Amino acid sequence: MDFVILMFGLLIGSFLNVCIYRIPRGESVVFPGSRCPYCRARLKPADLVPVVSFLLLKGRCRYCSRLISWRYPFVEVLTACLIWLFYRHYGITLTWAYYAFIGCILIVVSFIDLSHQEIPNGLVLVLMVVGLAAKLAGIGAGFIDGLYGLLVGGAPLALIAVISLLALRREGMGGGDIKLMAAVGWCLGWRLTAMALILSIYIGGVVSIMLLCLKIKCRKDYIPYGPFIALSTIISMIWGERILHWYISSFWG
């Protein structure tokens, strides 16, 4: 079964690559078929087998020989691993489907934020709608919990944004990050969201300091926050309940 799930994950990852490329360009993610981004040659099924095509073509377009971004096989493998991890934790259940779907949206958001410095509103809306559908179906966090989550996720980042605008006169937190974290809160409920938020601040802080120390980024550079939200939310969805249980039993047990 693990093999089937991993193959399924690679296919989904291949579709996520299409979303990452097309959504910021305002193109349909369904039609037309895939083309090379450089020479616009229409790709054949043999060029579209996840990971395998990339390796067989040695990372180059079959038609114009230009280098294909490492992002394509990376996103495919990442998506497969993620869907498999959720499967290991939740089995083939509706919770698995729900969390894996949220994880996929977060992968798309992260790579769009990395290359375009924006988080599309449409993707935040998809999270809100899926969160609502899950509540109606009785999966994951309930309505009230979701509303608390919306506040717990959105309010602290909105506060950071206001403070950095007033005190430092610079944009410390984008509107997209605030909306994304609020939507995550709506989907996951307040407990997992609080954990994801705290984790994202830690991970974001450590990685930003590393990037500054290694001189990969300078102080004025934009460091996208979306990928940190995505990573911490995924950690929280997979191990959150366990971490909370351990935390509560070791400090209040």
Which residues contact Zn ion by CB under 5 A?
Answer: 36, 38-39, 61, 63-64
Of residues 43 and 223, the one with the C-beta less far from Zn ion: 43
- CA gap 186, 208 in Å, rounded: 27
Min. distance of Cβ 62 from Zn ion in angstroms?
7
Are 34 and 48 a contacting pair, CB within 8 Å?
yes
Min. distance of Cβ 5 from Zn ion in angstroms?
32
Of residues 67 and 114, the one with the C-beta less far from Zn ion: 67
> Among candidates 187, 198, 253, which has minimal Cα distance to 231?
198
Of residues 36 and 97, the one with the C-beta less far from Zn ion: 36
Of residues 21 and 228, the one with the C-beta less far from Zn ion: 21
Min. distance of Cβ 129 from Zn ion in angstroms?
36
Of residues 56 and 144, the one with the C-beta less far from Zn ion: 56
- CA gap 8, 60 in Å, rounded: 24
- CA gap 141, 150 in Å, rounded: 11
Min. distance of Cβ 37 from Zn ion in angstroms?
8
Of residues 67 and 129, the one with the C-beta less far from Zn ion: 67
- What residues does 35 pair with on adjacent strands? 42
Min. distance of Cβ 42 from Zn ion in angstroms?
10
Min. distance of Cβ 36 from Zn ion in angstroms?
3
**What angle do the packed helices 226-251 and 94-116 form, to 10 degrees?**
130
Are 24 and 17 a contacting pair, CB within 8 Å?
no
Three-state DSSP string of 128-193 = HHHHHHHHHCCCCCCHHHHHHHHHHHHHHHHHHHHHHHHHHCCCCCCHHHHHHHHHHHHHHCHHHH
